[in-house]
Structure 1
Amino acid sequence: MVGNHEITVSVSKKPITGSPVTIRVIPQKGLICKFGRKGSGEGDLDDAWGVMVTRDGNIRVCDRNNERLQTFTLNGKYQSTTTFSNISTTVSPDWSTVSEDGTIFTSDGTVGQVIGHDEFGRVLRCFGKGVISYCFGIAMSPMDGRVYVVDNKGHCIHIYDQDGNYCKSFGCEGQGQGQLCKPVGIAIDGEGKAFVSDRHNHRIQVFDAEGQYLYSFGSEGSGDNQMRYPSGIALDCDGNVYVCDKGNNRVMKYESDGKFIGRIDSEDNTVDDPRSICVTDDRPLGYVVTNSKGKNIQVFSQ
């Protein structure tokens, strides 16, 4: 029966440790739905990048060439469009994250800045211009609320507070530990560790909250523990890591230390040129949402 069910396991009429447990039965595993098409109309997408889960469980998409954010339900029903106001320049949104008070921070790669705005698109503040060469992924630390911004052309990560004050940067161009080459995505866990998709080095690098190198996983290839040009990256509420393996047209799941768990998509339901990814907070396994080729959104159950 589809739905949430509570199960108790007992020995000699006494529940064992861990009982009861709630399990979720889903109608199918793998690809649940696919929506979006190239265009500029309501629900259409054009060179879309970042996807994120909103507070009410919907999916917000950075619709870059259409200079807007669009929100959909998890099954693909169009909800709303957010366009930017109270700003003199056009905005080309790449990635978004949201703070505890509901402020949305969106990276604008064309200008090289971060825009803080409300859910209606009213711009509250802009920062990073002149420091950020080309911003892509953006994430907020659950530890202290600081905003981490991926500088793709600067081969580094910049950290700001939510008022837009510059804190520090870490990373530089190279192939060594702590060095980056064209990074794209970033995600931060509950301990403040930053997981960065080091795209042209074909690996994921992990840093502490201050940008000190901790460890990395992945290498160039198509095996389980390999990747080609990783793009978007996300974490679930248990700390597992989800990677858009862009060059191999697949989505992979790892434990936080880099141990391979499994592939989210399949040979029957593949992703084409996956760019970004997010995971819902459903327990025990969240739904995985990916952006495919900048014009389609695909939702997978695990």
Structure 2
Amino acid sequence: MSDPLTQVVGLLRPSAAFSKLVVAGGAWAVRRSEAGRPFYCAVLDGSCRLSIAGQEPTTLESGDFVLVPAACDFATSSLEPPPVGVEAERAETSPGVFRLGSQDDPPDVRMLVGHCAFGSDDANLLVSLLPQLVHVRGEGRLTTLVELMNEESRGDRPGRDAVLGRLLEVLLIEALRSTMGSAPPPGLLRGLADDRIAVALRQMHARPTRAWTVVELAREAALSRSTFFERFRREVGVAPMRYLLDWRMALAKDLLRRERAGMGQVAEQVGYSSASTFSVAFARHVGMPPILYARGQRTG
């Protein structure tokens, strides 16, 4: 059966925006207010602090990896940050290498930092299925992947963008599945960590064309209808049929963007019996008919 996590990351269409090595010492802080750009960081040596609006500050140590799928208001700083409003000294000491804090202070942290972008216009929906913060300790493969991305981004070899895109997909999947042994918030990862709910999720992703009902999905999960419905909503955060509708529409958008298929073909591939039924559902969900959506994607 299809792997939901792989499919979601693939539909996000991640691309690497930039990656850099940061060396910092003394009292320093870098504050960002971004429009939801994904942020990741791998601490190579030392320690620092990550503060995200609405959450308790997190201490990052050597070997830690952090992913914030939609970072809007956050800061990285020394363990004892300077007062708010005080800007840290910043200098690019060599291409892609930045020094923060006073040059007279010995470095107390080295980290690889990067931002990426999601090309999907369904990114908000897909990101809502993921944790707000992924913090992984002691997974050397994540640091290795970030190092490979940093090295690739510094070069200008043929296929650079394709390699970065693939490395980023692997990085995201590796980071996200590393959290499944913990207690993630309601969403896809928490649903996949539940053996019964995971069966239903995999079935929906593997066979989105089937006319699924809650009763049939409950049977696949070996649960009663009421138990399945409540358990799915508790673990995934939405009702089963809502999840299925959102997933079908995400697939439909991807098909309309990538392929010059007729409405009947797209409708069939996402589980609708006719082009007209699909068109009505798509317009209600997206706010415009699929033919207009497709035209905008091809001319945008």
Would you call these one fold, judging by a TM-score over 0.5?
Answer: no
More strand as a share of residues: 1
**Structure of greater Rg:** 2
Give the TM-score normalised by structure 2. 0.23
Using structure 1 for the length normalisation, give the TM-score.
0.23
Q: Which has the higher helix share?
A: 2
